[in-house]
Amino acid sequence: MSSAPFFSICVPNYNYGGYIAETIESALNQPLQDIEVVVADNASTDNSVEVVQSLIAKYDNIKLKVNRCNVGFYENLKRSASMASGEWMTMLSSDDLATPDAYPTYKKIIDELGEIAKRVVLCSNANKIDAKSKIIESPKMNVKLWKDAQINQALSYKVGADVWEIDAALLLKNNLEILRNPLHFATTTYPKTLHEEIEGYSWGGLINPDRQFVYNLLSVADKVFYIDKPLFQYRWHDCNQTAQQEHSGALKFWIDEYVSTFNLPNRVLEKAGLTREQLACCFIEQDIALRGLLALANGQRLQARRLVNFGKAAYPVLIRNNEKMFLLRVLLMLGPIGTFIAKQAANLRLGSQ
């Protein structure tokens, strides 16, 4: 590729030799010429490197860097991002897929926005697929996170799908209040200038660096646009990051969430209009109390008790003042009866939605 590409698709990889060819070809099989794929291989022990090298012989817009040793997930995200030379960037896991109209759709929106696009973030819906690329779920937009969004009629007409627009500050506030990520890792696309403004993946974490990255990204963006169409496919199998999080008992996840309550940059809280104490209260309410009640409703009493103990160690005063935490502790003391009550309450809530 002689000139700088418009899109850089960054692919961090470790031992996904069985998937990475399909991932790379999904990114390159777009009706656009100005795309590059940059792969940072984290010292894979399978045939990943050989697979990528065979594709390099076929395409001239793939770059590969192989780490001499495994530097960890977070550091490899940084290394793949550092290879990008395009105006816009996407971080695509090496087992996920882009649909053929993903980047043409994004390009239409960028062109239509003009100068405004320099400070916006784009994202879309994503289908959940299994190890054999079969669609197993089509998640919908989280209405709690996007409650302040409005449909942009002009952009919707341009791309043939609903395009929701929201101020980045509002989305960030909604995000921090319920501690859920509004931007899917595979679909989030942003100007390289914004990536550099926040120093990229500048805080590692143990298992969930993309959550902190999104907080920082929204703190410097002006607008976020959500295309309500599955432009990407997220693969679910026993070895991916989310599955590992669940299998590990989510301890690393809770630590990351706790650390962010005092480690999140001040500019992020200022942009969202929240204090650090309010963020800590959101952590207790959303990540400890509500997740604990859900664990109890699913019969995971040990997990629920671990969450209570984690919350007591993290913020003992806030734990005592939280009504949902009081309810969770009472239900745990009731034994099997408490589990039954939690399950019935969860079923009633789901039935009313």
In this structure, what CATH number is given to the domain that contains residue 147? Answer: 3.90.550.10
- Of the candidates 95, 119, 136, which is a domain's last residue? 95
| Domain shared by 48 and 81, yes or no | yes
Do 207 and 338 fall into the same domain?
no
Under 8 Å CB-to-CB from 266, ≥6 apart: which residues?
none
* Biggest CA-to-CA distance, the chain: 69
Q: Which residues of 103-112 are buried (b: 16+ CB within 10 A; e: fewer)?
A: bebbbbbbeb
What are the residues facing 234 on neighbouring strands?
Answer: 128
pLDDT at 247 over 50: no
In a domain, 50, yes or no: yes
Q: Are residues 88 and 109 in the same domain?
A: no
Yes or no: say if 228 and 161 are a contact pair by the CB < 8 Å rule: yes
Query: Would 263 be classed as within a structural domain?
Result: no
- Of residues 182 and 67, more confidence is placed in 67
Spatial CA neighbour of 97 closest among 134, 72, 58: 134
Backbone angles phi, psi at 8, to 5 degrees: -110, 120
Does some domain include residue 253? no
Instruction: Give yes or no for a contact between 218 and 167, defined as CB atoms under 8 angstroms apart.
Output: no
Whether 202 maps to a domain, the answer reads: yes
| Nearest alpha-carbon partner for 220 in 115, 144, 121 | 121
Write out the residue range of the structural domain in which residue 311 sits: 275-352
Q: Are residues 100 and 79 in the same domain?
A: no
Domain termination residue (choose one: 62, 95, 128) = 95
Whether 77 and 110 map to the same domain: the answer is no
Banded model confidence at residue 2, pLDDT cuts 50, 70, 90: low
In-domain check, residue 269: no
State the average pLDDT over residues 236-243.
60
Each residue's pLDDT tens digit, 82-117: 999 999 999 999 999 999 999 999 999 999 999 999
pLDDT-derived band at 182 (thresholds 50, 70, 90) equals confident
Q: How far apart are CA 253 and CA 260, in angstroms?
A: 11
Residue 251 located in a structural domain: no
Does residue 348 sit within a domain? yes
pLDDT of residue 210: 83
Would the pLDDT of 327 be above 50? Answer: yes
Same domain, 75 and 113: no
pLDDT at 189 over 60: yes
Residues 44 and 110 in one domain: no
* Same domain membership, residue 89 and residue 110: no
Q: How far is CA 58 from CA 5, 30, 46, 53, 187, in A?
A: 18, 16, 21, 9, 26
Same domain, 234 and 103: yes
Taken in order 276, 282, 283, 285, the sign of the CA dihedral is: positive
Same domain flag for 130 and 222: yes
- Residue of 228, 261, 245 whose CA lies nearest to 162: 228
Residue 245 counted as domain residue: no
Mean pLDDT of 142-150: 92
Domain count, the chain: 3
Residues 70 and 106 in one domain: no
**pLDDT band at residue 346 using 50, 70 and 90 as cut-offs:** confident
Average pLDDT score over residue span 31-58: 96
Bridge partner list, 12? 40
Using the predicted structure, report yes or no on whether residue 350 has a pLDDT greater than 50: no
86 shares a domain with 62: yes
Phi and psi for 228 in degrees, rounded to 5? -80, 65
Residue that terminates a domain, selected from 28, 63, 95: 95
User: How crowded is residue 129: how many other Cβ atoms within 10 Å of its Cβ?
Assistant: 20
